[in-house]
Structure 1
Amino acid sequence: MDVQPNKNTLENEEYQPPQVVSFFALVGFVITGLMGGIALVNQTYILATTLLFVSCVFFIAFYVFNKYHNIALSSAISLYSLSFLMLYLVFTGGVENTGPLWIYVVPPVSLFFHGLKRGLVETILFIAACAVIMFVPTDFVPHAQYSLEFKLRLIYSFLTVTFLSALYEYSRDRAYHYTLELSQKYQQLAHMDSLTQLSNRRDALSILKREQSRAIRSKEALSVILCDVDYFKKINDLYGHNAGDAVLIELAKIFTQNIREQDCVARGGEEFLFILPGTLAENAYR
C-alpha cells in the first residue's frame, strides 16, 4: 500500500518557523551590535561588552541555522541569549534605568519559538527572575533601584502582554492544526475512492509506476490483476444504486482482507485493479 508521511513528522517540519528563527537571530546580531557600539562610544564599557557578547551569541545562532539547519538549537540560543540580556538590563538598569522597558519582547518570542506550553513556562520563569532581581534588597545584592509603583506596573503590564501573546499563539496553533488536518483530508481524498476507501485511479497509476521502476531496478517479478464485476448493471437496475454500492463496499472489504501488506487494490467503477509486487504471474493467477 502507499505509505503516507508520518503526521508528527509533518507537524515538526512545517510548524517550525525556520525563516523567522534565522531572521530574528540576524536582526538580534545587528541591533545588539549597534547598541554595543553606541555604548562603547559613550564609554559605558560594561554595557558595551555585554551587548557585543550577546551580539556574537546571536551571530552563532544565525550561523548554526544556516550551517547545520538546526532550528531547535538556533531558536534556543537566540531566546536564551535574549533572556540573559533582558535580565542583565533589569539588574543594571541599562541607560538611565530604562533597561526593563525591553523585557516585553520576551513573551511573543518565547511563545512563537517554543509553542504555548513551553513558552508560557519560560515566560513565567523569566518574569519570576525579574521580580527576584527587582525586589531583592540592595543591601544584600547591589542592583538598579526602582520605585515600588514602577516594579508593580512593570510586572502587571508584562503579564498582560504575556496573556495577549498566549491568546494569539493559541489561536495560531488552532488555525495551523485545522489547516493541516484539512490539507491531509483533501490529500487523502485525492488518492482514495470515497465509497470503498480503496486507492483510486490516480493513486493506482502512481503506485504502479513506482513498483514498475522498482521491479526493473531489482529484477523482481511484478503482477497486475484486473477484476471486473460481471452483470453489475443488473444489480443497479433490479435493486437500485444503494444495493450496488453495498456490493462494491463488501467486495472491497473482502479484497482488502485477502491481500498482503505490500499489495495494492484500487477501484474504478465496477472494476478493481490489483498490484502485486514480487509476485510471479502463476502465483497471481492462483
Structure 2
Amino acid sequence: MRIKNQNKLQRFGELQQARVIALFSLVGLSITFLMMCFALLNNDTPLALCLLSASAIYGLAFYWVKNKGKVKLSSYIIIYSLYILMLYLVYTGGVASTGPLWIFIVPPVSLYVHGLKKGLLNIAIFVSLTCLIMFFPHSVYAQDIYPFEFKLRLLYSFLTISFLSALYEFSRNELYNNALELNQKLHKLAHFDELTGLHNRRDAQLKLNQNIAVFNPEQRFSILLCDIDYFKLVNDKYGHGAGDLVLVKISEVFQRTKNQTDYVSRWGGEEFLFILPQTDQIEAFEVAERLRSAVFEQSVSLDDEDIKVTISIGVKEYHMGLSVDQLINDADKALYEAKKLGRNRSISAA
C-alpha cells in the first residue's frame, strides 16, 4: 500500500511536469512566432528564420508531450533549443541590441527541467559561452559589440536570477520530499501498528471487506483469531514494558512462521488476526497449530529471566453470505472455547 501511494505521488508529479512542459511549449511557440513576424516587418530575415525554427521546434515539443506523452524528450528539446536561441540572440544582438535581455528566462526553465545539480551545471556552461561571446568577441566574430558596463550588469543580474532560481528549486525539492515523508508517516500511522509493525485493526477490516467483496467459492479464505494466554499476568508481574516486549517478540514469530501470502495484523491489545487466502478450514487449522507451536518454543528474555508464552487460536473459514462481524464473532467463539478448555490450543469454529 505504501508503494502504491508513492507511485501515485510520482504519477502526479509526472503529470504536473507534463502540464508545465506543454504550457511552456505553447508559450514559447506563441512568443517566437510573434517575434518572427516583427523580424519580418523589420526586414531581418536571418532573425526571422531563426525564430521560425524555434517556433516549429516548440510546436513539435507541444505535440509530443500532449499526444505522445514524451515528456522527457520534449523537455530536453525545449531546453536545448532555448539555449541555442539565447546564444544566438546574444551573438547577433537581436533587435536594437536587446536580444541578451531574453537570457533571464534560462535559469528557472533550466532548473525546472534538469533539476538542481544538472540545471546549475548547464547554467554554468551557458554563462561561460555567453561570456565568451560578449567579452571575447574577436574569438567568435560576434556580430554585435556591447558596452562593457552593460555586459557586467547583464552578467551580475543573470547570476542573481540564477541564484534565486536555484534557491527556489532547492526549497521546492525540500517541500516535496517533506510532503512525501509526511505522507508515508501518515500512511504508516493509518495502516500499521506502531508497537509491533504489523497491520492494524483498521487495515485488517479493509482487507477483510476486500476479500469478501471479491469472494467466490473457488477462492476461499479463512481467518485465525489469536490471543496471548495470561497476558494480564505478564503485565501485572513484570510491568507494561515487559508486556510490550512480549507483543513484539510474538509478532516477530508470526512474521517468521506465516506463509508469504498470509496477512497478519494486531487486532487489539493482545489479540492478532490472520487472513489466510486460498485456505480452507482444515488447512487453516494446520497453520494455526504451526503458529501455536512456534510461539510455545519461543522464550522471551526479561532481565535475568526467560518466560514462556502461549497462545490460543480460533479458526474460521469464510462462507458466502457471512458479514465481517459474523466471521469475527464465529472465530471469537472458537477462541473462547480454546480458552475454556485450558488455553494453548487451536479450535475450529462450527
Q: Under a length normalisation based on structure 2, what TM-score does the superposition of the two structures give?
A: 0.74
Q: Give the distance between the partners of 1:140 and 1:253, measured in 2 at CA.
A: 71
Segments of 5+ residues of structure 2 without an aligned counterpart are 287-350
1:189 aligns with 2:189: yes
CA contact (8 A) 1:36 1:48 kept: yes
Aligned to 2:228: 229
Q: Which has the higher strand share?
A: 2
1:278 aligns with 2:278: yes
- Following superposition, the deviation at residue 62 of structure 1 comes to 1.4
Aligned length: 283
1:97-176 alignment to 2 at 5 Å?
97-138=97-138, 141-176=141-176
| Partner deviation per Cα, 1:67-101 (whole Å, 9 max, x = no partner) | 12222122212212221211110111000111001
Q: Which has the larger radius of gyration?
A: 2
Shift in alpha-carbon separation, 1:284–1:258, aligned structure 2, 3 A:
same
Aligned to 1:260: 259
CA contact (8 A) 2:87 2:130 kept: yes
What secondary structure is seen at the aligned counterpart in 1 of 2:247?
helix
Q: Give the distance between the partners of 1:3 and 1:262, measured in 2 at CA.
A: 17
Root-mean-square deviation (CA, aligned residues, Å) is: 2.4
Aligned to 2:80: 80
Shift in alpha-carbon separation, 1:171–1:3, aligned structure 2, 3 A:
closer
Aligned to 2:62: 62
How many percent identity over aligned positions? 47
1:246 aligns with 2:268: no
Aligned to 1:43: 43
CA contact (8 A) 1:212 1:222 kept: no
Shift in alpha-carbon separation, 1:194–1:155, aligned structure 2, 3 A:
same
Aligned to 2:204: 204
Aligned to 1:23: 23
Q: Give the distance between the partners of 2:260 and 2:236, measured in 1 at CA.
A: 36
What secondary structure is seen at the aligned counterpart in 2 of 1:5?
helix
CA contact (8 A) 1:29 1:58 kept: yes
Q: Give the distance between the partners of 2:85 and 2:139, measured in 1 at CA.
A: 23
| Partner deviation per Cα, 1:112-135 (whole Å, 9 max, x = no partner) | 222100111111111112122223
CA contact (8 A) 2:32 2:51 kept: yes
- Following superposition, the deviation at residue 58 of structure 1 comes to 1.1
Which one is further off, 228-237 or 183-192?
228-237
Q: Give the distance between the partners of 1:202 and 1:161, measured in 2 at CA.
A: 50
- Following superposition, the deviation at residue 165 of structure 1 comes to 1.2
* AA in 2 matched with 1:171: S
Segments of 5+ residues of structure 1 without an aligned counterpart are none
What secondary structure is seen at the aligned counterpart in 2 of 1:82?
helix
Shift in alpha-carbon separation, 1:159–1:203, aligned structure 2, 3 A:
same
Q: Give the distance between the partners of 1:197 and 1:12, measured in 2 at CA.
A: 25
- Following superposition, the deviation at residue 234 of structure 1 comes to 4.2
Aligned to 2:312: none
* AA in 2 matched with 1:283: E
* AA in 1 matched with 2:224: I
- Following superposition, the deviation at residue 104 of structure 1 comes to 0.9
- Following superposition, the deviation at residue 142 of structure 1 comes to 4.5
* AA in 2 matched with 1:246: L
* AA in 2 matched with 1:252: S
- Following superposition, the deviation at residue 213 of structure 1 comes to 5.7
Q: Under a length normalisation based on structure 1, what TM-score does the superposition of the two structures give?
A: 0.89
| Partner deviation per Cα, 1:162-188 (whole Å, 9 max, x = no partner) | 112111211211121011101111011
Which one is further off, 264-273 or 241-250?
241-250
